[in-house]
Amino acid sequence: MKKKRNQWFFVGGTFALVTWGLLSSSHMDAFIRSLDGRSGTAYRVVQPVPDNFGASAPATMTNMPNAEQLRSSIEEEAQKRREAPIDAKLDRVWKAIPGYNGLEIDVEATWKRAHQEGIEKGIPYVYKEIPPQVRLEDLGAQPIYKGNPQKRMASLMINVAWGNEFIGPMLDILEKEQVRATFFFDGSWLSKNIDTAKTIQAKGHEMSNHAYTHKNMSKLGREDNRKEIEQTQKLLKEQLGVDNVLFAPPSGDFSDLTVKVAHELNLKTILWTLDTVDWMKPTSDSIVRKIAARVEPGSLILMHPTASSSGALQGMIRTIKQKGLALGTVSELISSDRVPKVEPD
């Protein structure tokens, strides 16, 4: 009888150990990210406790056979998971390419969180972003045509110099799809449409500079370049309280002098990666197909408040999201801050 009890005890104990081992090795990722838009943002990932801890019940800080083994495991995992930052650089074709923050496990923060919360559900890894050594600002007066190709984000840049008819419908779509765009305002339009601009601003979109009278900037001297940019910069500040940081030259026409003057005014000169060419009145479906075929991480997409782009906007947004890309403002795209992964709808 005693022999049978020992056999049952052995079988039952073996079953319990095998079952716990399977459970402890199951994937238990939980990802939380703070969206405060600053470098050094903390990430928290919960992972299963390594099987080599060898406990017969889920491990905690109080019943862990060897707490030092936990710290060693965290340090080992930190070496495996580190992603190096990418420096900003000058490209022969695309000019200034923004950098991209790296990512690594914060060993001390992870160790402290493990002490506070225990690890019965897994090690609560805490991540931190590592800024690149070379920043976009270090490249000087250079135009920007795209974001970092490793940053899975695209941005809609809407240049406004004429017409109000399609602004409302486009704002409704952006709100429905929970997307923030960057609007570049021609100053002469803005001076006559402050209330419309305030509506755009109230929806959370970025407000930026498209010069004042839509002139070809490459044809202007230093004084006139400065005047065109400064007039709209002043209007944005006085009427909307905006500290202007971006400048998109009208028609994409500029010279090295234009970029230098904008840089002196603390503005980054923004061009585009993809152009809807909506002023030529293409069909909305053709715009969606074009974006679907060509959009990639880092794309800056140019459009205007036209019938073509208004009709294409929802399809554009959805096809971009289906490719696993986030959508943000131009400033968000060209920053080195990391972007969370986006699951296709």
Number of domains in the chain: 2
Integer angstrom CA distances of residue 35 from 39, 120, 181, 329, 340: 10, 28, 17, 14, 9
| Average of per-residue pLDDT values in the chain | 85
In this structure, are 163 and 57 located in the same domain?
no
Same domain, 274 and 225: yes
Identify which of 294, 344, 301 has the alpha carbon closest to the alpha carbon of residue 322.
344
The residue among 98, 130, 162 that closes a domain is: 130
Residue 135 resides in a domain? no
Decide if 252 contacts 139 (C-beta within 8 A).
no
Are residues 175 and 304 part of one domain?
yes
- Which ranges constitute the DSSP H helices of the chain? 2-24, 67-81, 107-117, 167-176, 187-192, 194-202, 222-240, 256-264, 284-294, 307-322, 330-334
Which residue in 118, 126, 26, 30 sits closest to 74, CA to CA?
Answer: 126
Q: Is the entire prediction scored with pTM above 0.85? A: no
**Residue located via tokens 């709209």:** 232
Do 182 and 272 sit in the same domain of this protein? Answer: yes
In terms of domains, do 280 and 152 share one? yes
Domain range for 114: 20-130
* CATH (domain of 293): 3.20.20.370
Say yes or no: 222 and 113 in one domain.
Answer: no
31 and 94 both lie in a single domain: yes
In terms of residues, how long is the chain? 345
Query: Do residue 156 and residue 267 come from a single domain?
Result: yes
**Rounded average pLDDT over 161-185:** 97
Identify the domain boundary among 71, 98, 130: 130
Phi, psi of 267 (to 5 degrees): -115, 140
Average pLDDT of span 31-35: 33
The answer to whether position 10 is within a domain reads no
* Last-in-domain residue among 68, 101, 130: 130
* 344: in domain: no
Reported as a pLDDT band with limits 50, 70 and 90, residue 5 is very low
Lowest-confidence segment of 65-74, 76-85, 299-308 by average pLDDT? 65-74
